[in-house]
Structure 1
Amino acid sequence: MLPVNGQVTAVVVSYNTADKLRRCLQALQGVPAVVIDNDSQDGSVAMIRTEFPLVQVIANRDNRGFSAANNQGLSLVQTPLTLFINSDAYADPGAIGALAAVFEDAGVVAAGGRLRNPDGSLQESVAKMLTLRGVFLEQTLLEKIFGGFWITRSLGGTVEVPQVMGACLMARTADLKEIGGWDERYFLYCEDTDLCLRLSKLGRIIWVEAAGFEHELGSSSRREPWRGIARYNRGKETFFRIHHGPLASGVCWSLDRMGALLRMAVKPKQFSTWWKVLTIKPD
């Protein structure tokens, strides 16, 4: 098994998650880490410098977004492997080593672990590649019949997959730098889909069931669900514009709005949420 020490550096993007960030860094169990703080106002930077003096910190003066911050961290990594992990994700003992082990196979370019919710239930961590057919099924609610993007529940063991989640993604540092890192045209959502698509041209992406991570989903999205949905839609539309052109992006835009109108009709209790998705810019 590939040893973790000297092989892996963790890159963590932080934004007003001081308590969760503390737990995240503790769970790394000595793996070197770089934290990029996107102008948190909750004392995150001071906490890191006081409690984790060996952790490198980049303190941004504004919120540069997930992709740009990850690239800042990547620029400092000197180990063969880079682990991108959310500040609200916590590695089980041995999980990082289990991910690193699959890179003994030279054909592997990226790997992700098994995510679970705080209550222990399975969290989706593997998806099909983004397609307009998938968006259509998602927005018409037909994915419940024909299947949607998520395929985690059908998996087991160590298997090749189309993509893993950016909440917990390990890749070869050289490959990441070869493809130019994360695409900064994405602020939040679908940047991991984009990254996996580009990495997949260099080799295989692997999901490792034995590598367990607890992941708390974004609290800001829970407070304002419409904002998370709108950002997700924008991320999808950006993905199609970059990889398939403006026509495909326009089709995705239309499907997303059709989906919002449909949900306003069939889920009247969520009318306000979907109305905001249609009428308010998320940023």
Structure 2
Amino acid sequence: MTKTVSTIVIYCNPIDQIKTVLACCASITGNTVFVVDNSPTNKFQELCLSFGAQYIHTPSNPGFGASHNLAKEKFPDYDTYLIVNPDVHFSSDDAIKLIDFINKNHDVVCVVPKVIYPDGQLQRLCKLLPSPLNLFVRRFAKKLADKLDNNFELRWFSYNVAVAIPYASGCFMAVRAEIFRKIGGFDERFFMYLEDTDLSRRLSQHGKIIFYPDAIITHEFAKASYKNKRLLLVHIKSAVQYFNKWGWFFDRERNQINSEAVAKIRAVMAEAKTANPKCTESSSR
């Protein structure tokens, strides 16, 4: 039997939000729930323990990635790490679909679900690897960004077939623990934002990252950096760190990865359409 741990990183989240995600994680049979609390006080400890979660308080707030990396140390012999945002909710059946998929497909290092908003609308979280234009222009020049985002956000993708993608959202990921440990987990230089982009790029060097539409979760997705100037600066800093690491405008590897991903996704979509002519875009359950 495989061993799975769900890691949730919280920071002064609404208590009802924490209760919801704890209940979701606790409902997965055989799953260990691990909470890293970066809040100034440990006021959520009793709540977490009441759901049977293991709890660690890190008031120094080392960041999203560094906090998730603690799972490597606490659970070194586990098979699958579920990286779970506190602002999501899901059924145990959907989580198990992802766990089963990654355990049955040994060439897969990470699998992510279809993600919807609370109103049922689709969140387009499958993306290509970003260029500086994708990140900076889309934040400060919306009209130009809309043109760039058509391909970057794969707006033409149907979201109804399983495909390999180069960039997966960190709001919910099932990751092969062996590979996560091998690459050192998240790069802890990223306090918050772009840490999932960087992780995706390093994971994909060891296997496939798969979008799996049969599993569906709900994500509140607050886009906090669009509302908070301090978080905007954190976002910009992370973007600079990311491009300093991987390359700015002349990143040939990025271009190759994106081109191959687009070709393969279009091929899978064409094959699915041939097999099922009524196959159309689905924006929710």
Q: Does TM, scored on the shorter chain, surpass 0.5?
A: yes
Contact kept, 8 Å, 1:134 with 1:148, in 2: the verdict is no
Indicate yes or no: 2:144 matched with 1:142.
yes
1:258 aligned residue = none
Indicate which of 194, 202, 222 corresponds to 1:198: 202
In the TM superposition, residue 93 of structure 1 has moved relative to its aligned partner by: 3.7
Is there any run of 5+ residues in structure 2 with no aligned partner, and where? Answer: 252-285
Hey, what's the Cα distance between the residues in 1 that align with 2:78 and 2:10?
21
Alignment pair present for 1:22 and 2:19? yes
Q: Is it true that 1:69 corresponds to 2:67 in the alignment?
A: yes
Q: Measure, in 2, the Cα distance between the counterparts of 1:88 and 1:42.
A: 19
The residue correspondences of 1:157-168 to structure 2 (distance < 5 A) are 157-168=161-172
Paired AA for residue 159 in structure 1: V
Match of 1:268 in 2: none
Q: 2:234 aligns with which of 227, 231, 236?
A: 231
Q: Could you tell me how far 1:95 is from its partner in structure 2?
A: 1.1
Q: Which moved more, 1:74-83 or 1:188-197?
A: 74-83
**Alignment check: 8 A CA contact 2:5 2:80 kept:** yes
Q: Which of the pair has the greater relative contact order for Cα pairs under 8 Å at 6+ separation?
A: 2
SS in 1 for 2:74: coil
Matching residue's letter, 1:117: Y
Query: What's the counterpart of residue 43 of structure 1?
Result: 43
Instruction: Show the counterpart of 1:95.
Output: 94
**1:205 deviation in Å?**
0.3
Q: Deviations over 1:46-86 (max 9, x none)?
A: 2112x22x311111122111011011123222321100000
Select between 87-96 and 174-183 the one with higher mean Cα deviation: 87-96
Give how far 1:144 is off. 1.7
Q: What is the match of residue 12 of structure 1? A: 8
Over aligned residue pairs, what C-alpha RMSD do you find?
2.4
Q: In structure 1, give the amino acid aligned to 2:146.
A: K
Q: Structure 2 counterpart of 1:63, which letter?
A: N
Alpha-carbon separation, structure 2, partners of 1:107 and 1:165: 20
Q: 83-92 or 40-49, which moves further after superposition?
A: 40-49
After superposing on structure 2, the runs of 4+ consecutive aligned residues of structure 1 that deviate more than 4 Å are 219-222
CA offsets 1:218-253 (integer angstroms, 9 cap, x no match) = 48557x4333333222211110111227x989xxxx
1:120 aligned onto 2:120: yes
SS in 1 for 2:231: helix
Q: Which residue of 2 aligns with 1:186?
A: 190
C-alpha displacement at 1:102, in angstroms?
2.2
Give the Cα separation in 2 of the matches to 1:197 and 1:219. 22
Determine the C-alpha separation between the residues in 2 that align with 1:236 and 1:39. Answer: 25
Q: Which residue of 2 aligns with 1:84?
A: 83
How far is 1:41 from its partner?
Answer: 4.2
Q: SS of 2:112's equivalent?
A: strand
State the AA in 2 paired with 1:43: K
Distance 1:136 1:231, change over 3 A: closer
Change (3 A) 1:38 1:136: closer
SS at match of 1:151: coil
The 3-state SS of whatever aligns with 1:73 is helix
- State how 1:133-282 maps to structure 2 within 5 Å: 133-135=133-135, 138=138, 139-140=140-141, 141-146=143-148, 147=150, 149-151=152-154, 154=157, 155-218=159-222, 221=225, 224-244=227-247
Q: Measure, in 2, the Cα distance between the counterparts of 1:56 and 1:33.
A: 6
May I ask how many residue pairs the two structures share in their alignment? 241
For the residues of structure 1 that align with 2:45 and 2:250, how far apart are their CA atoms? 41
Rounded to whole Å, the distance in 2 between the matches of 1:8 and 1:198 is 21
Q: Give the gaps of 5 or more residues in structure 1.
A: 250-283
Letter in 2 for 1:100: I
The normalised TM-score by structure 2 is: 0.77
Cα distance, 1:101 vs. partner? 2.5
Which residue identity is paired with 1:22? K
